[in-house]
Structure 1
Amino acid sequence: MAATNAGVAAADSAASSDEAAAKTAQKRYEGLLMVRNKAIKGKGAWYWTHLEPLLVHNTETGLPKAVKLRCTLCDAVFSASNPSRTASEHLKRGTCPNFNSAAKPISSVSPVLVSSSTSPPSASPFNNRKRTTTSPSASGSGSGSLYHAPSRFGIGLIPHQQQQHLKLSGGKEDLGALAMLEDSVKKLKSPKTSPGPTLSKAQIDSAIKFLGDWVYESCGAVSFSSLEHPKFRAFLAQVGLPPVFPREFTGTRLDARFEEAKVESEARIRDAMFFQIASDGWKWKRERESYYDYDDSNSGLVNLSVNLPNGTSLYRRALFVTASAPSKYAEEVMWETITGICGNLVQQCVGIVADRFKAKALKNLENQNHWMVNLTCQYQGFNTLIKDFAKELPLFRTVVQNCLKLANLFNYTSQVRNSFHKYQLQEYGHTWLLRVPAHEFEFGLPVCAMMEDTLSSVRALQLVLMDEPFKMVAIEDQGAREVGDMIRDVGFWNDLEAVHGLVKLVKDMAQEIEAERPLVGQCLPLWDELRAKVKDWCSKFHIAEGVVEKLVERRFKKNYHPAWAAAYILDPLYLVRDTSGKYLPPFKYLTPEQEKDVDRLITRLVARDEAHIALMELMKWRTEGLDPVYAQAVQMKERDPVTGKMRIVNPQSSRLVWETYLTEFKSLGKVAVRLIFLHATSCGFKCNWSLWRWVCAQGHHSRNALNKVQKLIFIAAHSKLERRDFSSDQDKDAELFTLANGEDDVLNDVLVDTSSV
């Protein structure tokens, strides 16, 4: 009996062990799969294009047993313990038979090697000559190869034993001159250099065109003068292309590329029945978030673009303005942009979304043109809410002042700083100073960075208090004693975590708004989501809800437009299924005042003699809704393979249903199709700030230079908007370096989990 129980216990133990190993293997597989997906999108190591994670299952239990890597070029399978090493051994070293024929990234190409059986060690520091390539098979030696260019006379003609005794009148520095002499003799003896790859004229023209497009679309990130860099010239020669000059790319080629993009943009606008103007950049950078203090110039770049009903955006023009630009000037610029696009047919412009001038310029244009719906940018609205919190909540000011005291003591008191660095190195493996904002009460990225640094250094800060140098400083310095008591106080850390949590909550939503670019119908759900998150935050940190909710509601009212409620009701994406199976508009989620806003807006947007018809159709829409099949088709979602979020399969279906299926709603349909496509943010093209600084430095005096910059911005913006790329090159570079460390962290987590089983 005891033996039977022991057997059962052993079986249970084995089963438990198998399940734990299966969970670990599954986690490793998912981690590697996530890293590979990001790498394929251009945000990770090059070798993931050729290596694919495989999950191996136990044939008996069916549970995941191990994770392998499969080479997609030759189908070979390897261990997944070290992908980087697998790539080096299998791909870089030529083990894979198919890798040489595939396109290799530059980073994976090994340096050119040549045979060097007679290369003296002393010659390498002075050998600046052009290197030639000799394959190992041609060298006649199976030994290792080094970087070396064989000499033709001088050192090369002298036996190795005599080289050590060679004496030149100028000493060792004569070796460099000797190398130059050898090169001159070589050119005289063999004036024809070995030709590179031969390209046809059509291939050269195509390559130069692609090069020009890349330079233009970088919009200043790639300097024109870098085209004359010797290394870049050498690269062009190596691939068989002639040298290029900056003037080639700033003259007729730039003009032709601009005309091409402009013609394409105008053709798309003509094809659309109506459009929305988006204007970003009016909100002065020091008024935005104080996140981007690139320079102290008093000029800003205003971008004007066009949003079309099919979801695409087209760039219109860039405008350089001063920080003191009045509302009337902005109103004139926006109206000139509208008339410049559609002439006298101004009703083609359904509305404007801008990051400033809601109360004046936008409202005036809307009052003068009853068919227009002018909105304020929700990205700016959420960021301004953070400033409201910082200004109105005493908790914010207290936390910022306390963090400043702490940072100034630990950064600028040498004994404390040395002790702090010692424990940082011990706990985190590296040292850093706590970032301090230039302006104490200008709440923005520098203040957030200071709070993040403080939170991430909590263990080192606590250890410093027990160190002798800090105790000595605290005896003489009252401020140091106060900081020490503050660090020991749990309340300080709770308050810091609360403020940081609220800022991060709103910032994350703002960044998601910037990335997703929601339409006007999504505004009410977004603010409802924010209210719910703020309420949870108050409950978590035991903060009174009244003051915080009051600030949220005040900002909501400043941003609110009746079009929010109308689009929310008319967009089939937000229809709600009732108990009878019908899909009806979500009127129950509106306040009584918002319901009135829907009626008032619809009657304003239609002709006066159609107002009563539109309201009757609205009542019919309220009671009958949409056919369940069409409603489900509009609301169908799928998981995004990159982000993992659920997304609408066809975002255009909301508008298309009104145009093709709901044709019985003659008046209401006209309002719906012109309303539900409107964007709720003005975020769009991000100009490279180096170019922006250059324009400001010129003082706008060079008309020709400013014209070229305008064309360059238009080409870059047109290309980015066509690719729906709304990020900046600086953001991508920062993300790339972050991912370089993050990928290692994911792999390390996977390996740690494996070893712990």
Structure 2
Amino acid sequence: MATVNAVSSSTSALETTPASAVEEMEAKAVWKRYEALMTVRTKAIKGKGAWYWAHLEPILMCPSESGAPKAVKLRCSLCDALFSASNPSRTASEHLKRGTCPNFSSPSAAAGSGGCDTYQHAQPKPISSLPPPSSSRKRSCNSYQIEVLYSSPSTSPILPLPSPQQPNLLLSGGKDDLGALAMLEDSVKKLKSPVASPNPALSKVQIDTAFSFLSDWFYECAGVISFSSLEHPKFRAFLKQAGLPSISRSDLTGTRLDARYEEARYDAEVRICDALFFQVAADGWKPSSDANGGDSLVSITVNLPNGTTVFHRALISDGRIPCKYAENVLWDAVTNVSSSGRGGSPATLCAGIVSDRYKSTALRSLEDQHHWMVNLSCQLHGFRSLIKDFTRDFPRGLSVFDNVASKCSKVAIFFNNNSSARTIFHKYQTQELGRTSLLRYANGSDCSFTVEDIIASTAAFHRTVHDDSFKLLCLDNPEATQLADVILDMKFWNEVQAVNSLIKLITHMIQEMQSERPLVGQCLPLWEELRSKIKAWCAKYGIDETVVHKVFEKRFKKNYHPAWSAAFILDPLYLTKDTTGKYLPPYKCLTPEQDKDVDKLITRLASREEAHIVLNELMKWRSEGMDPIYAQAVQVKQLDPATGKMKIANPQSSRLVWETCLSEEFGTLGKVAVRLIFLHATAGGFKCNVPWLRWLKRQGRSRAAMEKAQKMIFVAAQARLERRDFWGDEDKDGEMFSHGDADELSERNFQREFMEGSSV
């Protein structure tokens, strides 16, 4: 009992007495050493370690003036002697095998050698027969008196050994030794089922708050985390350890989900109701991958003038949706959002639609029916299509893209299908990249993925064709010889590098658009920026600029919308200062056709009664522009710490200046301008997770399940939009794990091999 009290007092001292950083580190090291020894001893007792651990027990030593452990010692359970824990094996040899311990005897002890199986351990002498311990051999070390003897954290403190002077001592195993047997039974029970320290009880408010955060996290990860995960034993153990009751599926799919959905729906309706107009964005009409059965999840969102975005609904598309059906879906979204919280407001509140597909049919049809709408094709889709255009629309045999696509496909197919060549290639691929993989190739001229894989394995290809085994393969295989010549040809690698450089150039601009979400007024500058970069690319790699220009202009005309030119002219952000000091719209940057488009579009967006008024104001805007003070205020830029680029300080100033400073002078034109220049040019600002699609498809058999799934997706999507989290979890995870190492490695490998080839 005294020892138990000592344990309690010392433990409380450890918790309450502050210690210096050095002492704390030393105490942690001592405790770590103690735990390691206890682990070894536990395994040894089970028959998985050295024999001597049955007689040696680790203990912690604490000085009387401090509660922190200072050292670890080994105590002989036979004679109660203390030893250093630095070398348990040597301690066993010196103390047990050589006969130093009076209660341990072995026939081979005198020999001083032999394995552990040769030792015949004699029965230890009864403790009552031992002489009283001398005063010089107390439980001490380095003048520190032992105050606490620790066992494992899950066991009770070691009870003091009975004094040898106790009369009528009953040894364990006797017929009257019931007390000792009871103590042994209690100790075994504690070892088998250690009692965890009780957690402080949480109040009802704390429990409700914890479950509120947990449910929000679960809803926002809709589809990624399954309902069955709630019943996982580890998760239930976590809740119990945290002092929380268990949670069931019904807890998250019942009233809590309904309340969270109504809250998110109400918040979305309030935001839409406060806006004077809006834009509908639809993304996902095109199937994302064949792995999903050719299906995709179409997300319909609503862009508001203040720069925020709210979620509307999601639906499954199989890629074969008729244009008329898509048109009906988009118009239903327009009418539903228009009446959301307004009591049946007119559809004229919708300034337009931006979608990633159906530009020439559904979008154009809706625009022709409703003159106040501007329906745009997503710029992300246009830039992605440009990559395919370069690999598809060049004249056969005259294009670097055609040559690269043809040769790269042949290389990929050969090394994928020929087992001997694949074995050699995978050997060097493992050495260079640390992994093996088949080379991707597409049926047709789209070589973007193939070029990416070829570039990444440049060094592996060069080492493969120089391998003696591959040279033997070339003797019997003419195709291997032909492809070896291709791989050793530096002209081929120059062309591959050129194609890869162009693909990277366009892909980088796509990534910037995904993060920055450009407005319609930025479309012309973006395409002009891409045009100049492609021109520089042609000069760098000696590509025929005429052919490239034709392909570029063809895609530009397919995606072009007159709203690009009109928004570019009306946005004060692009006003230029002339020689007189005026800030005028940049008409000189437009072609004659684009100049006419500005007049036509602005006239269409205004009512018939105001058509002549808006044209007169447009002429005045063209000749007088804006006051320099206001123009300079709109165009103020500041450094963005996230990207390191200069960006507009207040993106909303372009619209606000039309609503305030220019409202009296350009009343009719201002109404058109504020609706036009706020429109987004991309529909890919919000990306649904692939698990959402799979999860939503599984609920299609039950109407109630589908309703709950739609509610969870709405809550999750709305929460992500509030955080401005426009990336999918797969993209973020892939970026986190890659860190660009693969691109840097492939680039270094290419440069190294290119230089080696050039020197040869």
TM-score tier (shorter): 0.7 to 0.9
Q: Secondary structure at the match of 1:309?
A: coil
Identity of aligned residues (%): 51
How is 1:442-453 mapped onto 2 (pairs within 5 angstroms)? 443=446, 447-453=447-453
Q: Secondary structure at the match of 1:318?
A: strand
| CA–CA distance in structure 2, aligned partners of residues 559 and 532 of structure 1 | 18
- On the 8 A contact 1:274/1:348 being kept in 2, the answer is yes
Q: Secondary structure at the match of 2:626?
A: coil
TM-score by length of 2: 0.73
Gaps of 5+ in 1: 1-92, 100-109, 128-133, 158-180, 286-291, 746-757
Q: What are the superposed Cα offsets for residues 405-431 of structure 1, whole Å, 9 maximum, x if unpaired?
A: 2234334544434443444455x3624
Query: Once the 2 structures are TM-superposed, how far is the Cα of residue 200 of structure 1 from its aligned partner?
Result: 1.4
Q: Secondary structure at the match of 2:510?
A: helix
Query: Once the 2 structures are TM-superposed, how far is the Cα of residue 337 of structure 1 from its aligned partner?
Result: 1.4
Query: Once the 2 structures are TM-superposed, how far is the Cα of residue 273 of structure 1 from its aligned partner?
Result: 0.6
In structure 2, which of residues 295, 300, 306 is the aligned counterpart of residue 304 of structure 1?
A: 300
Match of 2:133 in 1: none
Match of 2:71 in 1: 142
Query: Once the 2 structures are TM-superposed, how far is the Cα of residue 317 of structure 1 from its aligned partner?
Result: 0.7
Match of 1:194 in 2: 197
- On the 8 A contact 2:524/2:568 being kept in 1, the answer is yes
Q: What are the superposed Cα offsets for residues 154-180 of structure 1, whole Å, 9 maximum, x if unpaired?
A: 9x99xxxxxxxxxxxxxxxxxxxxxxx
In structure 2, which of residues 240, 252, 256 is the aligned counterpart of residue 253 of structure 1?
A: 256
How is 1:666-745 mapped onto 2 (pairs within 5 angstroms)? 666-698=667-699, 700-739=700-739
- On the 8 A contact 2:456/2:743 being kept in 1, the answer is no
Match of 1:119 in 2: 41
CA RMSD of aligned residues (A): 3.5
Q: Secondary structure at the match of 2:642?
A: coil
In structure 1, which of residues 244, 249, 252 is the aligned counterpart of residue 247 of structure 2?
A: 244
Q: What are the superposed Cα offsets for residues 197-221 of structure 1, whole Å, 9 maximum, x if unpaired?
A: 3321111111110011011111222
Match of 2:502 in 1: 502
Is 1:382 the equivalent of 2:379? no
Match of 2:126 in 1: none
| CA–CA distance in structure 2, aligned partners of residues 739 and 386 of structure 1 | 25
Match of 1:591 in 2: 591
In structure 2, which of residues 310, 327, 330 is the aligned counterpart of residue 331 of structure 1?
A: 327
Query: Once the 2 structures are TM-superposed, how far is the Cα of residue 460 of structure 1 from its aligned partner?
Result: 3.0
- On the 8 A contact 1:375/1:561 being kept in 2, the answer is yes
Query: Once the 2 structures are TM-superposed, how far is the Cα of residue 143 of structure 1 from its aligned partner?
Result: 3.1
| CA–CA distance in structure 2, aligned partners of residues 346 and 479 of structure 1 | 64
| CA–CA distance in structure 2, aligned partners of residues 690 and 331 of structure 1 | 27
| CA–CA distance in structure 2, aligned partners of residues 740 and 196 of structure 1 | 44
Q: Secondary structure at the match of 2:41?
A: coil
Query: Once the 2 structures are TM-superposed, how far is the Cα of residue 458 of structure 1 from its aligned partner?
Result: 2.3
Match of 2:556 in 1: 556
Is 1:281 the equivalent of 2:303? no
Q: Secondary structure at the match of 2:682?
A: coil
Change (3 A) 1:429 1:743: closer
Q: Secondary structure at the match of 2:701?
A: coil
In structure 1, which of residues 276, 289, 294 is the aligned counterpart of residue 291 of structure 2?
A: 294
Is 1:432 the equivalent of 2:432? no
- On the 8 A contact 1:299/1:322 being kept in 2, the answer is yes
Change (3 A) 1:147 1:465: farther
Query: Once the 2 structures are TM-superposed, how far is the Cα of residue 329 of structure 1 from its aligned partner?
Result: 1.0
Match of 1:401 in 2: 406
Change (3 A) 1:148 1:458: farther
Q: Secondary structure at the match of 1:306?
A: strand
Gaps of 5+ in 2: 1-18, 26-30, 50-58, 74-84, 86-149, 162-184, 339-343, 746-760
- On the 8 A contact 1:153/1:182 being kept in 2, the answer is no
Match of 2:603 in 1: 603
Is 1:416 the equivalent of 2:413? no
Match of 1:185 in 2: 189
- Code of the residue aligned with 1:295 in structure 2: it is N
Q: Secondary structure at the match of 1:647?
A: strand
TM-score by length of 1: 0.73
Match of 1:63 in 2: none
Q: Secondary structure at the match of 1:502?
A: helix
- On the 8 A contact 2:392/2:445 being kept in 1, the answer is no
| CA–CA distance in structure 1, aligned partners of residues 248 and 32 of structure 2 | 28
Query: Once the 2 structures are TM-superposed, how far is the Cα of residue 697 of structure 1 from its aligned partner?
Result: 4.3
How many correspondences in the alignment?
Answer: 600
| CA–CA distance in structure 2, aligned partners of residues 634 and 113 of structure 1 | 68
Query: Once the 2 structures are TM-superposed, how far is the Cα of residue 614 of structure 1 from its aligned partner?
Result: 1.1
Q: Report which stretch shifted further, 675-684 or 450-459.
A: 450-459
| CA–CA distance in structure 2, aligned partners of residues 113 and 555 of structure 1 | 72
Query: Once the 2 structures are TM-superposed, how far is the Cα of residue 357 of structure 1 from its aligned partner?
Result: 1.5
Is 1:234 the equivalent of 2:237? yes
| CA–CA distance in structure 2, aligned partners of residues 187 and 420 of structure 1 | 56
| CA–CA distance in structure 1, aligned partners of residues 367 and 527 of structure 2 | 24
Q: Secondary structure at the match of 1:319?
A: strand
Q: Secondary structure at the match of 2:201?
A: coil
Change (3 A) 1:501 1:401: same
- Code of the residue aligned with 1:143 in structure 2: it is V
- On the 8 A contact 2:324/2:362 being kept in 1, the answer is yes
Change (3 A) 1:590 1:125: farther
Q: What are the superposed Cα offsets for residues 611-639 of structure 1, whole Å, 9 maximum, x if unpaired?
A: 12111111111122112222121111111
In structure 2, which of residues 320, 336, 340 is the aligned counterpart of residue 340 of structure 1?
A: 336
- On the 8 A contact 2:404/2:496 being kept in 1, the answer is yes
- On the 8 A contact 1:116/1:147 being kept in 2, the answer is no
Query: Once the 2 structures are TM-superposed, how far is the Cα of residue 648 of structure 1 from its aligned partner?
Result: 1.0
Q: What are the superposed Cα offsets for residues 454-478 of structure 1, whole Å, 9 maximum, x if unpaired?
A: 2233233223322211110000000
Q: Secondary structure at the match of 2:683?
A: coil
- On the 8 A contact 1:196/1:237 being kept in 2, the answer is no
| CA–CA distance in structure 1, aligned partners of residues 651 and 60 of structure 2 | 57
Q: What are the superposed Cα offsets for residues 99-135 of structure 1, whole Å, 9 maximum, x if unpaired?
A: 9xxxxxxxxxx999858559333357999xxxxxx99
- Code of the residue aligned with 2:439 in structure 1: it is R
How is 1:329-368 mapped onto 2 (pairs within 5 angstroms)? 329-342=325-338, 343-368=344-369
- Code of the residue aligned with 1:205 in structure 2: it is D
Query: Once the 2 structures are TM-superposed, how far is the Cα of residue 233 of structure 1 from its aligned partner?
Result: 1.9
Is 1:580 the equivalent of 2:580? yes
Change (3 A) 1:485 1:665: same
How is 1:145-184 mapped onto 2 (pairs within 5 angstroms)? none
Match of 2:515 in 1: 515
| CA–CA distance in structure 1, aligned partners of residues 311 and 443 of structure 2 | 38
- On the 8 A contact 1:114/1:135 being kept in 2, the answer is no
- Code of the residue aligned with 1:491 in structure 2: it is K
- On the 8 A contact 2:154/2:190 being kept in 1, the answer is no
Is 1:527 the equivalent of 2:527? yes
| CA–CA distance in structure 2, aligned partners of residues 563 and 98 of structure 1 | 69
Change (3 A) 1:423 1:341: closer
Change (3 A) 1:97 1:334: farther
Q: What are the superposed Cα offsets for residues 262-283 of structure 1, whole Å, 9 maximum, x if unpaired?
A: 0000001000011111111223
Is 1:469 the equivalent of 2:469? yes
Query: Once the 2 structures are TM-superposed, how far is the Cα of residue 693 of structure 1 from its aligned partner?
Result: 1.5
- On the 8 A contact 2:378/2:682 being kept in 1, the answer is yes
